[in-house]
């Protein structure tokens, strides 16, 4: 029995309910599964990117608000923020509780969203 496992690839960290049925499949079926998995992964990445772009279009501040930030000497250059990625990040307004609005950098990180505080929208009122 030990001889059967010589050269067998180490499985990825998959749940048992996925791994065990795969190990019982023929090479041809495994090739078909691999092809499907690659295409499915590509499609999921495209869907995630489309959703991120749609969210950006809906939430990103406009040019007038960017100018207002620059007029307040608040940088709108993501490179000047330590944890903000150089591409894919945009500035949005978040309301943390009624009446308290703040500018944040926001970006997609895998399947989740991350953000970093910039400044209050109305600093004199808060």
DSSP state of 112: E
What predicted TM-score, i.e. pTM, was given to this entire model?
0.63
Could you read off the pLDDT of 23-51 as tens digits, one per residue? 999 999 999 999 999 999 999 999 988 98
Per-residue model confidence (pLDDT) at position 125: 52
Per-residue model confidence (pLDDT) at position 110: 82
Q: What does the block give as tokens for 39?
A: 């295409």
Per-residue model confidence (pLDDT) at position 25: 96
Q: Are residues 70 and 113 in the same domain?
A: yes
Q: How far apart are CA 51 and CA 83, in angstroms?
A: 22
Per-residue model confidence (pLDDT) at position 126: 46
With a CB cutoff of 8 Å and minimum separation 6, the contacts of 113 are 106, 107
- Residue 111 is part of which domain span? 61-120
- Could you tell me if residue 43 is inside a domain? yes
Spans in the chain with pLDDT lower than 70: 1-4, 124-126
Beta strands in 39-109 (DSSP E): 90-97, 100-109
Q: Are residues 84 and 34 in the same domain?
A: no
Q: Are residues 72 and 40 in the same domain?
A: no
DSSP alpha helices (H): ranges in 4-61?
16-23, 27-59
User: Total domain count for the chain?
Assistant: 2
């Amino acid at each position: 029995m030990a001889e059967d496992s010589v050269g067998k690839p180490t499985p990825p960290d998959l749940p048992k309910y996925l791994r065990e049925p795969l190990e019982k499949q023929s090479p041809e079926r495994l090739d078909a599964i691999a092809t499907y998995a690659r295409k499915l992964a590509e499609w999921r990445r495209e869907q995630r990117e489309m959703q991120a772009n749609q969210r950006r279009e809906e939430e990103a501040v406009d040019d007038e608000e960017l100018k207002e930030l620059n007029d307040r000497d608040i940088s709108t250059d993501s490179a000047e923020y330590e944890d903000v990625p150089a591409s894919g990040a945009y500035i949005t307004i978040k309301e943390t509780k009624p009446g308290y609005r703040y500018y944040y950098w926001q970006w997609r990180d895998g399947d989740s969203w991350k953000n970093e505080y910039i400044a209050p929208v109305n600093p004199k009122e808060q």
